Structure 1
Amino acid sequence: MKITANIITLNEEKNIEAVIKSVQEVCDEVLVVDSLSSDKTCEIAKSLGAKIVRQEYLGDGKQKAFGAPLAKNEWILSIDADERLDSDAIEAIKNLDLENTPYDAFSFARKTYVGKALIKLWYPDRVVRLYNHSKCGYTTAGGHARVDAKNVKDLDAHILHYSYDDYSHMIKTTHKFITRGARLAYEDGKRASSLDPFLHGLGALFKALVLKGGAFHGIDGWNVAVISAFSSYMKYALMLEMQENE
């Protein structure tokens, strides 16, 4: 398969071997764009045949876009270090005729786990990850970005996302995303009112528990709903704090 896997990393020594072996099922080149890791990420990746490029972190979209011109193939499979191709994704990719396909990109449903628990609240969470970089590519906006493609085919296949080791890990990571999200929104010229933390926090809780059915997904549904609501509340609370300190 003439596909380049593009993986961005930062201190991912516990994940890098598994993700590389996963994509090597369908990719003839593995490109690791590393954000100056201080652990054995690059050493392990190199031992598995990956091409290593060191680049200080530019942001999610910019970092993934940075690797695209360095790929030897037109088709790129973008995957995070904490993700794996499910067996149905490997089979689906092998069955694609990429030289003659009318599509510019393909999307996958994503199964996200907290520890061993599959978070049904976040399923199917479709993401475009296999794309022809001569026709489309990642947006370079701050925060989490996406492949900007118009002619996309949804595959009946899955990416496994081992996002958090446990809920303690999720809470610690959420703190980082809250801070970054507030800062990016503020720098983008957005401003919050005194009601925004309450409105967005309650809105996130209602969406997770009621609209997405999290209330019926057991303790995992409630845990994720509450953490999501807290994240939304604190993002706007931090924006208000930034405004007060202007």
Structure 2
Amino acid sequence: MAADITAIILTKNEEVNITDCIKSIMTIVKRIVVVDSYSTDKTVELAKECGAEVYQHAFENYAKQYMFAVQISQIKTVWTLRIDADERLTPDSANELEQLCNGNMNTDVAGIVLRFKKNFLGKDLYHGGVYPWKKMNCYKTNYGAIEDRSMDEHIVLSQGRAIEMKHDCLHFDFKNLEFFVNKHNWYSSRETVDYFQNLEKAKGKDELDFKTWFKMNFYYKLPMGLRAHIYYLYRYYIKLGFLDGKEGKIYAFLQAYWYRYLVDAKIYESKKMGTRYKGIGELK
């Protein structure tokens, strides 16, 4: 018997992923809702064939798209599962999630942290600080909501505590290096918007979560080139990214010297040129 879960999946041109994603969760959830930002491939058709409810909505950013999904779904189940089309539950992790949801219907547990194993260039990465990649993707519907921010949005709980799963889920966000670079260029604009928003929050004495506070008060205080270099050294040497071979080196290099440095360059550009990135719209 399925657990009392509604799953929400946001999509755009995910025909290569959506069927496997839905099949990995369909036996443990009561309802699957797909919110699609006008795919031009077979994503919508395939999602419907798998039994999902499908809605379409123009994409602004991930947080606002997810808020729309929650609103349009009018969720009645005790639990909500946020899962991306390129993510999968394994038989073991699906069984564990089902048991945890069923076993905590009336406890103070309001969130469940899923563990993900990332695959890059066809290789599972176990080092470099990327394993396990953790996200609180399952939460009690009445006690969780997504942060309204341009980048790095999380589900936050209004009450209760979170527990962590023991079995791994799978993450297949890598399509090819061209897509990877384009996606991180898109991410970097959103991160730039987030930087200036957090700067204003700090000036206004607004409370920041620890990760954001650390980035604003330590990471961004370092010289632009130095912080990307330190980030690479941290990922590749201190967090043992070199143990993942060539794939680990490429991943660490692109994360630091492509993505993190690009964010820094866009922040510098914005300050020097008096312009601002909007950070809205979908990945092209």
> Quick check: TM above 0.5?
yes
SS of 2:65's equivalent in the other structure is helix
Rounded to whole Å, the distance in 2 between the matches of 1:187 and 1:105 is 27
Amino acid at match of 1:33: V
Rounded to whole Å, the distance in 1 between the matches of 2:132 and 2:221 is 34
2:42 corresponds to which residue? 40
1:129 to partner: Cα distance:
0.9
Paired residue total: 246
Out of 246, 253, 269, the position equivalent to 1:219 is 246
SS of 1:164's equivalent in the other structure is coil
The alignment's C-alpha RMSD in Å is: 2.2
TM-score (norm 2): 0.80
Question: Per the alignment, do residues 106 and 193 of structure 1 end up closer, same or farther by CA in structure 2, a change over 3 Å counting?
Answer: closer
Measured against aligned partners, the alpha-carbon deviations of 1:138-167 in whole angstroms (never above 9, x if no partner) come to: 112111311113510111022200010233
Amino acid at match of 1:213: L
Q: What pairs up with 1:1-246 in 2 under 5 angstroms?
A: 1-69=3-71, 70=73, 71-96=75-100, 97-120=103-126, 121=128, 122-149=130-157, 151-186=161-196, 189=199, 196-230=223-257, 231-246=259-274
Moved over 4 A (4+): 187-195
Rounded to whole Å, the distance in 2 between the matches of 1:36 and 1:196 is 41
Question: Per the alignment, do residues 74 and 67 of structure 1 end up closer, same or farther by CA in structure 2, a change over 3 Å counting?
Answer: farther
Question: Per the alignment, do residues 98 and 63 of structure 1 end up closer, same or farther by CA in structure 2, a change over 3 Å counting?
Answer: farther
Gaps of 5+ in 2: 201-215, 275-284
Amino acid at match of 1:114: F
Rounded to whole Å, the distance in 2 between the matches of 1:223 and 1:34 is 32
1:195 to partner: Cα distance:
6.4
Which piece of structure 1 moves more, 181-190 or 139-148? 181-190
Amino acid at match of 2:241: G
TM-score (norm 1): 0.91
Measured against aligned partners, the alpha-carbon deviations of 1:53-96 in whole angstroms (never above 9, x if no partner) come to: 21211322222233224123131111001000022211102323
Q: Is the 2:116–2:134 Cα contact (8 Å) retained in structure 1?
A: yes
SS of 1:63's equivalent in the other structure is helix
Which piece of structure 1 moves more, 146-155 or 26-35? 146-155
Rounded to whole Å, the distance in 1 between the matches of 2:149 and 2:43 is 26
Q: Is the 2:7–2:82 Cα contact (8 Å) retained in structure 1?
A: yes
Which piece of structure 1 moves more, 27-36 or 175-184? 175-184
SS of 1:238's equivalent in the other structure is helix
Amino acid at match of 1:198: G
Question: Per the alignment, do residues 213 and 48 of structure 1 end up closer, same or farther by CA in structure 2, a change over 3 Å counting?
Answer: same
Gaps of 5+ in 1: none
Q: Is the 1:35–1:54 Cα contact (8 Å) retained in structure 2?
A: yes
